[in-house]
Copies of this chain bind each other. A is one copy, B any other.
Amino acid sequence: MPTVRDVAERAGVSIATVSFVLNGSKPVTPATRQRVEAAVAELGYHRNELARALASRKTRILALAHPTAEHRFGSSTTDFITSAARAARARGYHLVLWPIDTDGQEIHDLLGQGLVDGVVLMEVKLDDPRVDALAASGTPYALIGRTRDPAGLVHVDIDFDRSVADALDHLQDLGHREIAFVTAERPGYGPKVRSEAAYRRLCAERGLEPLLLECAPTAPAGQGLMPRLVERVTAVMLMNEYAAFGVLTGLARAGLGVPDDLSVLSFTSPDMGALADPPLTTSHSPGAELGSLGVHALIDQLEGIEPSAPRLVPCTLVPGQSTARRP
């Protein structure tokens, strides 16, 4: 592996000049720049990121801290992670994975290693001790999700208000007025709390009678909703990836069908929705976009670019065949 020294020698300049050219950190004559670039190309030189990190006190490595148990983005977790890693690389950073299970100590030890410049924290809870640990460490960080009071914290999240409003719009446009909302049983879970709040507020604003239900956060779920649900509403929005199949099954067993007897809108990936019969109308979380935005927000902060206002991104509605005009 060639080093700056080899490049400098070959180009007939000092190692400082090589560094200036590589980093654009100081003005350099076009002529010498070219000689350096030629030497770099001829030698197939790549700078050693480790040495650079040590000398510059910037590792250009970010950590993606995520609990191993929960899967907030469900089917879009992979998209999120991949997109975060791509965004990092696009700006010259690397992303390391930190599966974090415990709260304070683990993250503290990891940070102590001095390997990363900042942390992207996934699956942020309303009251999250990891956020406190990060804040105490002084390491820059960006949150995916929000704590109870996220004011002043760098974060990106789903825009639950918009997402629920869009879903309601879709159903109301089809003539529905009795629209239930089903979440997963997860007390204190941010997305549940925020989407329920949005639903309640929107119902009030629009003069709709709210019907909030819950079911299990894992499959199978939703089948038990059935007697109650179809008696009281003509449409349902499911903020629970697993519930849709249960609802369809429960309905079928009662001799009823979608969308004739009930319109179903599920917050899940279109891929998942396509598995159902009929293919579901879905609203999918912006996993990839959040991954990218979160990383950019963190890097902006690291590089002293603008304060980077929190971004809230709505889910995207993809019409399927499980929603139809009210009978």
Contacts and interface: CB of A to CB of B under 8 A. Distances in A.
Given A114-B50, A115-B49, A218-B271, A96 B99 contact: no
Contacts of A143: none
A250 to B, nearest CB: 9
A223 B219 CA distance: 23
A3 to B, nearest CB: 10
Interface of A: 1, 44, 46-51, 53-54, 59, 61, 64, 66, 68, 71, 75, 77-78, 81-82, 84-86, 89, 94-99, 109, 112-115, 218-220, 242, 245-246, 248-249, 252, 271-272, 274-277, 279
Contacts of A53: 50
Contacts of A48: 113-114
24 contacts: A44-B112, A46-B113, A47-B113, A48-B113, A49-B115, A50-B115, A61-B96, A64-B97, A68-B86, A77-B78, A81-B81, A84-B97, A85-B99, A94-B97, A94-B115, A95-B97, A96-B97, A220-B274, A220-B275, A242-B274, A245-B276, A245-B277, A246-B275, A249-B277
Nearest to A97: B85
Contacts of A59: 50
Number of copies: 2
Contact of A81 (B46, B86, B97): B97
A219 B54 contact: no
A51 B49 contact: no
Contact of A97 (B97, B113, B115): B97
Nearest to A75: B75
Contacts of A113: 46-49
Contact of A54 (B50, B61, B98, B245): B50
